[in-house]
Structure 1
Amino acid sequence: MSNLINKWNQVSLVKRILLGMMIGIILALTIPDAAQWVSIFGSLFVGALKAVAPILVLFLVMSAISKHRSGHQTNMKSIIVLYGLGTFLAGLVAVVASFLFPVTLRLTTSTQDLTPPGGILEVLEKILFNIVANPIDALISANYIGILAWALLLGITLRNAADSTKNMLSNFSDAISQLVKWVINLAPIGIMGLVFDAIATSGLSTLLDYGKLLLVLLGCMVFVAIVVNPIIVFLYIRKNPYPLVFKCLKESGITAFFTRSSAANIPVNMSLCEKLGLDEDTYSVSIPLGATINMAGAAVTISVLTLAAVNTLGIQVDMGTALILSVLAAVSAAGASGVAGGSLLLIPLACSLFGISNEIAMQVVGVGFIIGVLQDSCETALNSSSDVLFTATAEYAKTRKEGKEIIINA
């Protein structure tokens, strides 16, 4: 048995995940009732990732900041600029695509009694209160903005602590990182359960009525992932970006697609950054930060669905207003993690720019929930994979400026 396990572990994780996907699809299409028990593996896998992620972020950031050497560059300014640029351009791509391929909706009333934020100030207020949240409550509720704030502050105050204290933090960080590796190694079984559950319970038939909307939405996300992001990366590193882009999509995007949670994918991204040989002082902060503010997929969702509502109501939109929508979508998307319901509940905020009533906007949100099986999966895959992509880009750009050769471990 041990030899079998060793041989299994020697196979590429991506190949193992693909095998798990195939098994999940076959079971869902052939014996969905008899194999209902398979779905529990997906729930356990996502639950384990979500459980370990908050404590991993807390100790990794604390340990990295406490050991930070004075004068050591972490590239955080460049990464934040990349996050903002990527999110804005994603919103702009969605606006242009909506003009080129206008979509109308058959509105629904299925909004599950959700309440959207009243305005952009409410979104920003929520983020600020998340920053000053009780640290224990932040850990329990997986409030990553609060966790980051406390980890940064504690890390800074511990910079003058004894070496034994710093070593203890480092040991805790290493131990939790090892737990993360064990959880990630179970991804093939977990994704098998997630795929089975998605196909057996939801199927794809309900999505056919929204085929054109999905084509525009997913087309924008794919365009951002394989055209816009590579152009950004090339401008920074002046080297073929696609090995890095495909590495991030393959090892981060696939798991994010099925877990549909940027928070659950934080451990996966941390592990990928380590494989790429990136600076731990940087990625221990940039990855959880990206999971909260780097939301290119959310910007696409907000823009496309808002303009679909505009087209449905026959409202005329000029390019100036459309550009404002791109900016609003980018700012709103960055606050999506602070709002229950994520990007979909920020659609009414964008709709208000065109004078669309909250009642109609919430019907658009209902459409979003119907197509959420694919929309949310692709959105999360784009968001999460670009966290690693832009973190690596900033470090490789620094390497290029220093006149050193860029080596991408892809």
Structure 2
Amino acid sequence: MKRIIRAWNKTNLIKRIGIGMTLGAILGLLVPNLTGIGLLGDLFVGGLKAIAPVLVFALVANALSQHQKGQDSNMKKVIFLYLLGTFAAALVAVLASFLFPVQMVLSSASTEVTPPDGIGQVLSNLLLKIVDNPVNAIIEANYIGILSWAIVFGVAMREASKNSKELLKTMASVTSKIVEWIINLAPFGILGLVFETISGQGIASLANYGILLGLLIATMVFVALVINPLIAFLFIKKNPYPLVWKCLRISGVTAFFTRSSAANIPVNMKLCEDLGLNPDTYSVSIPLGSTINMAGAAVTINILTLAAVNTLGISVDFATAFVLSIVAAISACGASGIAGGSLLLIPVACSLFGITNDIAMQVVGVGFVIGVIQDSCETALNSSTDVLFTAVAEFSSARNK
């Protein structure tokens, strides 16, 4: 048994995750009623979600407290890449909907969620999150609030004594070590998540929405493998695919199954560390990216909205669709880092075409039906791009020096 454990620990984490995925799929197909396996996935995701807010606060506050004037953190470039990538994804979704128009069957499907009233409320909610109570922000995993207060504490700690700064540094190191322990349990967590997905009935219910789901996935794959690498190449001036594949393989796989950008923050932090990136940058850019870098959300919003437009026979010119891309990109920045967050913003986009809230909520209902796959792909794209653009910003700055 000790030899097996030693061999397991020496095996590459990605290989161990692959073993977990395979076992989960086999168990899901052969013994779908086996109890307890799915709990492994819930525990893994729960652990990531629990530690992520503390990790973000500790790392950001520590990085800023240790920051020396004149150090380049590349944050301006990272934010520009986030916004550029999200808008480009929204525009690609519009073009895909024009080239391959799809319709959906609208029924009386309803949900218990309440969408925002408009783009103004989306932006208002974002601003209000900034001034949330710091303790409540950590409890509720409000990453905008956590970031804002971590910045305040970090800047204030610059004036503190050396011992106080060391205490904050120790807190960041201890939290990072806990994250490393949780990530090492990823193979078992992924096993449970795959089992839960395969053994459920979600896949069978997707048959009626196959074309719509296919367009969504194809567009996200195009963004991940063509648009994002193109943006990366324009900045780093070399083959971006080794970096793109690494981000998708490590960050994208776990994000696909956790279906939460917030839960994937610790995974992305560890990947940035492995890539040798500057902690001053990624300790801020990764949690920020889980909130505002939402290419997958922009794709979902635009394609589902235009599918509703096609179903209702509303004509759309490219200028209006371009405005839709801007609205979708801005709205996507307000998508929460939880499963299904982007779907609640569809009524905002639908309002541009005079579609009533009742019909828009039916579209949201369709989104929840296909969410088993759609939201997994969306989160994988969003989260892996956080690391990609953080790395691209740093590599391009190093190249220009």
Contact 2:229 / 2:241 at 8 angstroms: preserved in 1?
Answer: yes
Aligned to 1:20: 20
Moved over 6 A (4+): none
Distance 2:173 2:12 in 1: 23
| Code of the aligned partner of 1:306 | T
Contact 2:260 / 2:338 at 8 angstroms: preserved in 1?
Answer: no
| 1:297 and 2:300 are equivalent in the alignment | no
Post-superposition shift, 1:67? 0.2
Distance 2:246 2:331 in 1: 29
Distance 2:182 2:285 in 1: 22
| 1:259 and 2:226 are equivalent in the alignment | no
C-alpha distance after superposition, 1:51-100 (max 9, x if no partner): 00000000000000000011000000000000000000000000000000
Aligned to 1:357: 356
Contact 2:340 / 2:375 at 8 angstroms: preserved in 1?
Answer: no
| 1:188 and 2:198 are equivalent in the alignment | no
Distance 2:247 2:47 in 1: 22
| Code of the aligned partner of 1:104 | Q
| 1:5 and 2:12 are equivalent in the alignment | no
Contact 2:93 / 2:299 at 8 angstroms: preserved in 1?
Answer: yes
| Code of the aligned partner of 2:187 | P
| Code of the aligned partner of 1:30 | L
Distance 1:135 1:226 in 2: 38
Contact 1:103 / 1:308 at 8 angstroms: preserved in 2?
Answer: yes
Distance 2:46 2:337 in 1: 20
| 1:242 and 2:241 are equivalent in the alignment | yes
C-alpha distance after superposition, 1:220-247 (max 9, x if no partner): 1000000000000000000000000000
Distance 2:335 2:204 in 1: 29
Distance 1:398 1:113 in 2: 47
Distance 2:349 2:338 in 1: 14
Distance 2:99 2:10 in 1: 47
Contact 1:108 / 1:364 at 8 angstroms: preserved in 2?
Answer: no
Post-superposition shift, 1:176? 0.7
Change in 2 beyond 3 A, CA 1:75/1:25: same
Aligned to 2:372: 373
- 1:199-238 to 2 correspondence within 5 Å? 199-238=198-237
Contact 1:130 / 1:338 at 8 angstroms: preserved in 2?
Answer: no
Change in 2 beyond 3 A, CA 1:105/1:141: same
Post-superposition shift, 1:31? 1.1
Post-superposition shift, 1:127? 0.7
| 1:66 and 2:89 are equivalent in the alignment | no
Change in 2 beyond 3 A, CA 1:338/1:393: closer
C-alpha distance after superposition, 1:15-69 (max 9, x if no partner): 1111111111111111111x22100000000000000000000000000000001
Change in 2 beyond 3 A, CA 1:197/1:339: closer
| Code of the aligned partner of 1:95 | V
Aligned to 1:103: 102
C-alpha distance after superposition, 1:341-391 (max 9, x if no partner): 511010010001011111101000000000000000000000000000000
Post-superposition shift, 1:115? 1.1
Contact 1:63 / 1:170 at 8 angstroms: preserved in 2?
Answer: yes
Change in 2 beyond 3 A, CA 1:200/1:340: closer
Aligned to 1:31: 31
SS at match of 1:336: coil
Distance 1:376 1:128 in 2: 25
Distance 1:268 1:110 in 2: 36
Distance 2:337 2:248 in 1: 25
Contact 1:249 / 1:381 at 8 angstroms: preserved in 2?
Answer: yes
Post-superposition shift, 1:160? 1.2
Post-superposition shift, 1:338? 8.0
- 1:78-157 to 2 correspondence within 5 Å? 78-157=77-156
Change in 2 beyond 3 A, CA 1:109/1:12: farther
Contact 1:332 / 1:346 at 8 angstroms: preserved in 2?
Answer: yes
Distance 2:241 2:108 in 1: 42
| Code of the aligned partner of 1:344 | L
- 1:42-61 to 2 correspondence within 5 Å? 42-61=41-60
C-alpha distance after superposition, 1:220-278 (max 9, x if no partner): 10000000000000000000000000000000000000000001000000000000000
Post-superposition shift, 1:2? 3.7
Contact 2:57 / 2:146 at 8 angstroms: preserved in 1?
Answer: yes
Contact 2:61 / 2:150 at 8 angstroms: preserved in 1?
Answer: yes
Distance 1:108 1:369 in 2: 14
C-alpha distance after superposition, 1:119-177 (max 9, x if no partner): 11101111111110001111111000000000000000111111111111111111110
| Code of the aligned partner of 1:161 | A
For structure 2, which runs of at least 5 residues remain unmatched after alignment? none
- 1:245-394 to 2 correspondence within 5 Å? 245-337=244-336, 341-394=340-393
Change in 2 beyond 3 A, CA 1:188/1:301: same
Q: How many residues align?
A: 401
| Code of the aligned partner of 1:336 | A
How well do the aligned residues superpose, as a CA RMSD in angstroms? Answer: 1.1
Give TM-score, length-normalised by structure 2: 0.98
Distance 1:84 1:48 in 2: 30
Contact 1:38 / 1:193 at 8 angstroms: preserved in 2?
Answer: yes
C-alpha distance after superposition, 1:311-353 (max 9, x if no partner): 0000000000010011110000001128995110100100010
| Code of the aligned partner of 1:7 | A
Distance 2:210 2:304 in 1: 13
